Chains A and B, each alone.
Chain A
Amino acid sequence: MSAAARVLSWLDRRSDDVSPLVVKEARQVVRSREFLLSFSASLLAGMAVAFGGATAALSGSTTSGRGTFAALMGCLGFLGLFVVPIGAFNTLRNERMEQTLELITLTSLTPRRVVIGKLLSQSVKLLTLFAAFAPFIAMSFLLGGIDLTTILTSLTLLYMASVWVGALCLFLSTLFKSRAGSGLVFGVVALFAIVLLPIGLSVFRAAVFGVAAPTMFGSGFGSAAMFKELTVLGTFWVTTLVNFVLLAKHRLSLATEDGVTPLRIGFFAQFLLTVWWALVSLFSTYRSATVETMTALGAIHLAIVAVFIVTEEMSVPRRVLHRLTMESGIRRLLALFSPGAGRGAAYVAAQMVVLMAVIVIARSLTGGLHPPAAGLRRILAACGYICFFTAVPVVVFRRVAPSRISPFKLRAAVLCAVAAALVLPDILHYLIFRPDVLDLSYSARHLINPFRTLAHWAEVEARGWTVMPLVIGVTGLLAYIRLFILGARATAQAAFADPPAVPAEEATARAGILH
């Protein structure tokens, strides 16, 4: 056997250890015009930039490496934040359009493995492009003006950002099954990439080199503070990346599969991470602002999650029901993350309790300073509004038109309720009182508007208007309880209607007849 054949044989053996999708796409990519073009163009751009840097060095500059590296990062940024993510979007979109995704899901490749495989193959593509730039980046280092830490950190950040945007694009590509819908999303993604890319690159350049803007990393690039912020960024990168994968997986899963439970665990982890960093920030210099920001982020996270989860179907998928009846001990706790049966409301309510507990802990650790009592009440009011606007429309819809319910319609009802709360107070005020000039400044009629009320919380407290948010919150809580009850009834009905599953051991034993 020749050396080349031995290498190919070794590669073939090793390829068993990577995702089949990576192998397939690597084979496809090397023959694709898009990759050949981007690879050739990046080589040409790299050479041009390096040539410019070398010319500057020859003319006496000792820091031309810095500009060269910035230009190279611009090229890599274009590839990493535009070409590769758009490729990721297209690769999954094409699988759906050409109906090959169905053929894949019939194999041992689960939707999760498909999404991870797609992400890995894009990462490999990205690494290949990075590798093409390696000689030029090395040259920029040799030209002087930039240190190795900056180079490595910049490349790592760009790589992370590219993978993150790639995961986001993969998720977006799963949103629509139709060619038209998918095309629309593709257009929006491309437009965003085109608009955001220059902004992203400018911010990146400013953060790294401190040009024309304050640095992103506190006391400077390479400092301990920067690495602490990178840690925060890194943990959020991991959790959001995992959640994008889980979201895409959920969108690709068949109705028989439970894509909801891991997704809820993932978002719960993201929520816990937010409150964890809120707690940690108590011991930082900017604790007041950070605690406020983190708790506000936690509340926004909860609101978004609640819109999607409280509006879920009440019925428990048969497979989930069977799994739940078979589980025991601590695994039963996982039932909180399972779909159906009003558990979505319980899941959101549990997170609200965690958020409140963290704020109480934060206050006790800071002697009641962070957040202040008013801040605590404001978060409590935010939770009340979330309960009200996610549960009351759902309960009313279920009561008025039970036969027309679908998660999509319920979500639309929630959004309509929020929209009504934003505009109706002013419209009704105008229609009833017919003022000459409609005064839009915050007043009692705007208490139903969650955004304005929370933004003017100090005024609400000062004027003693807290009763209205309290009533709204209690109504929302009661609606949540109503959803639990409806869910429990749906579960009982489903358990009665479905026959018991064949135990796994019996099924496996009976499978013997086939072999």
Chain B
Amino acid sequence: MSEAVIEITALVRHFGDVHAVQDVSFSVDKGQVLGFIGPNGAGKTTTMRILATLDTPTGGDARVGPFSVVDDPEAVRRLVGFMPDYAGVYANTTVGEYLDFFARAHDLRGEARRKAVAHIIDFMSIGDLRDRHVESLSKGLKQRVALGRAIVHDPEVLILDEPAANLDPRARIEFRTLIRELAADGKTILLSSHILTELAEMCDAVAVIEQGRILATGTVQEILERVRKRRVLSVRVAGTPSSLERMLIEHPGVINVHEVGDRLQFEFEGGDAEQVQLIGRLVAGGIPILEFTAHGADLEDLFIEITQGRVQ
């Protein structure tokens, strides 16, 4: 049975009259990578800041492991590595000193501290930067160092707010690789991003938030199955049998048949059993089927499908 490492229950956060987070509940299992998506001002950063103990909820609670962010924030901090959407660097400080400072700040002492810093430098492949001043680094490299800072104390949970923002394509690919490696290492990761295609590749599941409310949680396919009444299917056949389009239109549940390249694409209202029936009927009708495809939607489709772009 999976163990929820992050558990948010009826979380509420008001800033005066602005209800930034309203009754948000979801959980993230151990070792899971959960993408937190929503339009600007949806409440993502507020939720993440509460989880990181940088803010306090107006109501409800959030737990990291067994610890409540309200009742035991110190214990939560030991379990969490947080990377906000800003780098947070110091002047006149080298990369090595920067990481060393945060290792010390996490109460790592002596050999343990030196090993932790060396490990991070090795893991993040920033050995060449060790003696360079942090403030002189490019945005991508600063992000890399910031991720190193967030994990220098080897936390169980990582909360990353827009970690890939402002990165060039190469830096994004490298960053994605790092996240995958961390997930493979058993870290539980909650991350938000506006680059949905990348999130889809990194995340096991997503939580969609808008106007401070969670609209859906689960894998992209699970959510789409819940929110979509119709499947998008397509069929490619040998030759151009004219009967195919007629058979499809006449079949119950099939609508909006149209050509897409060398195939016919249509929407289908029905479950797996009905879909099997449809395929059986086409085969029985002598249609020379080369391909029959059920189109999975991507994260962008899901996002557009269930959010309405409203901000508070």
Is B97 touching A254 in the complex (CB atoms < 8 A)? no
Q: What are the residues of chain B within 8 A of A511 when measuring CB–CB?
A: 65-67, 75, 79
Contact of B65 among A23, A103, A110, A510 (CB under 8 A): A510
Q: How far is the CA of A98 from the CA of B135 in the complex (A)?
A: 11
Contact of B71 among A27, A28, A103, A502 (CB under 8 A): A502
Q: What are the residues of chain B within 8 A of A509 when measuring CB–CB?
A: 66
Contact mask for chain A residues 241-264; partner B; CB cutoff 8 A; 1 contact, 0 none: 000000000000011110000000
Which A97-136 residues have C-beta < 8 A from chain B? 98-100, 102-110
Contact of A254 among B56, B80, B82, B101 (CB under 8 A): B56
Is B75 touching A256 in the complex (CB atoms < 8 A)? no
Binds A, one of B106-114, B176-184, B238-246, B292-300: B106-114
Is A105 touching B54 in the complex (CB atoms < 8 A)? yes
Contact mask for chain B residues 62-96; partner A; CB cutoff 8 A; 1 contact, 0 none: 00011111111111011110101010111111000
Q: What are the residues of chain A within 8 A of B106 when measuring CB–CB?
A: 107-108
A1 contacts the other chain (CB 8 A): no
Is A322 touching B71 in the complex (CB atoms < 8 A)? yes
Q: What are the residues of chain B within 8 A of A107 when measuring CB–CB?
A: 77, 102, 105-107, 153
Contact mask for chain A residues 127-158; partner B; CB cutoff 8 A; 1 contact, 0 none: 00000000000000000000000000000000
Q: What are the residues of chain B within 8 A of A28 when measuring CB–CB?
A: 90-93
Contact mask for chain B residues 259-294; partner A; CB cutoff 8 A; 1 contact, 0 none: 000000000000000000000000000000000000
A440 contacts the other chain (CB 8 A): no
Min CB gap B113→A, angstroms: 7
Min CB gap B253→A, angstroms: 47
Is A256 touching B56 in the complex (CB atoms < 8 A)? yes
Q: Looking across the interface, which residue of chain A has its beta carbon closest to that of B152?
A: A107
Is B54 touching A502 in the complex (CB atoms < 8 A)? no
Q: How far is the CA of A508 from the CA of B84 in the complex (A)?
A: 28
Contact mask for chain A residues 479-502; partner B; CB cutoff 8 A; 1 contact, 0 none: 000000000000000000001011
Min CB gap B121→A, angstroms: 16
Q: How far is the CA of A110 from the CA of B53 in the complex (A)?
A: 12
Q: What are the residues of chain A within 8 A of B56 when measuring CB–CB?
A: 254-256
B55 contacts the other chain (CB 8 A): yes
Given contacts A23-B101, A102-B84, A514 and B5 within 8 Å (CB-CB): yes
Contact of B89 among A98, A254, A255, A256 (CB under 8 A): A98
A31 contacts the other chain (CB 8 A): yes
B131 contacts the other chain (CB 8 A): no
Q: Looking across the interface, which residue of chain B has its beta carbon closest to that of A510?
A: B66
Is B92 touching A103 in the complex (CB atoms < 8 A)? no
Number of A-B residue pairs, CB cutoff 8 Å, is 112
Q: In the complex, how many residues of chain B place their beta carbon closer than 8 angstroms to a beta carbon of chain A?
A: 46
Is B65 touching A513 in the complex (CB atoms < 8 A)? yes
Main secondary structure of the interface of B (DSSP, over half): loop
Q: What are the residues of chain B within 8 A of A13 when measuring CB–CB?
A: 110
Q: What are the residues of chain A within 8 A of B101 when measuring CB–CB?
A: 20, 23-24
B231 contacts the other chain (CB 8 A): no
A318 contacts the other chain (CB 8 A): yes
Min CB gap B282→A, angstroms: 51
Is A32 touching B88 in the complex (CB atoms < 8 A)? no
A439 contacts the other chain (CB 8 A): no
A507 contacts the other chain (CB 8 A): yes
A429 contacts the other chain (CB 8 A): no
Is A24 touching B66 in the complex (CB atoms < 8 A)? no
Q: How far is the CA of A204 from the CA of B89 in the complex (A)?
A: 41
B156 contacts the other chain (CB 8 A): yes
Q: What are the residues of chain A within 8 A of B44 when measuring CB–CB?
A: none
A16 contacts the other chain (CB 8 A): yes
Q: How far is the CA of A100 from the CA of B109 in the complex (A)?
A: 22
A506 contacts the other chain (CB 8 A): yes
Q: Looking across the interface, which residue of chain A has its beta carbon closest to that of B107?
A: A108
Is B55 touching A254 in the complex (CB atoms < 8 A)? yes
Min CB gap A354→B, angstroms: 34
Is A100 touching B71 in the complex (CB atoms < 8 A)? no
Is A256 touching B97 in the complex (CB atoms < 8 A)? no
B213 contacts the other chain (CB 8 A): no
Is B66 touching A99 in the complex (CB atoms < 8 A)? no
Q: What are the residues of chain B within 8 A of A319 when measuring CB–CB?
A: 70-71
Min CB gap A289→B, angstroms: 49
Q: How far is the CA of A508 from the CA of B56 in the complex (A)?
A: 22
Q: What are the residues of chain A within 8 A of B144 when measuring CB–CB?
A: none
**Which residue, of A98, A106, A501, A507, has the highest number of chain B Cβ atoms within 10 A?**
A106
Is A16 touching B110 in the complex (CB atoms < 8 A)? yes
Is A502 touching B53 in the complex (CB atoms < 8 A)? no
Is A109 touching B92 in the complex (CB atoms < 8 A)? no
Q: Looking across the interface, which residue of chain B has its beta carbon closest to that of A32?
A: B92
Contact mask for chain B residues 117-143; partner A; CB cutoff 8 A; 1 contact, 0 none: 000000000000000000000000000
Q: What are the residues of chain B within 8 A of A507 when measuring CB–CB?
A: 66-67, 72, 75
Given contacts A98-B89, A102-B84, A514-B156, A254 and B105 within 8 Å (CB-CB): no
With A102-B84, A499-B61 given, name 10 new contacts (CB 8 A).
A20-B104, A23-B101, A28-B91, A98-B89, A107-B153, A255-B55, A256-B70, A507-B66, A511-B66, A513-B30
Q: Which 6 A-B pairs have the closest CB atoms?
A: A510-B66, A20-B104, A107-B105, A31-B92, A255-B56, A108-B107
- Chain A residues proximal to chain B, CB less than 8 Å: 13, 16, 20, 23-24, 27-28, 31-32, 98-100, 102-110, 254-257, 318-319, 322, 499, 501-502, 504, 506-511, 513-515
- Provide 18 A-B residue pairs closer than 8 Å at the C-beta atoms, listed in order of the A residue: A24-B104, A28-B91, A28-B92, A31-B92, A99-B84, A99-B86, A103-B84, A103-B88, A106-B53, A108-B78, A109-B105, A110-B74, A256-B53, A257-B73, A501-B71, A507-B67, A511-B79, A513-B3
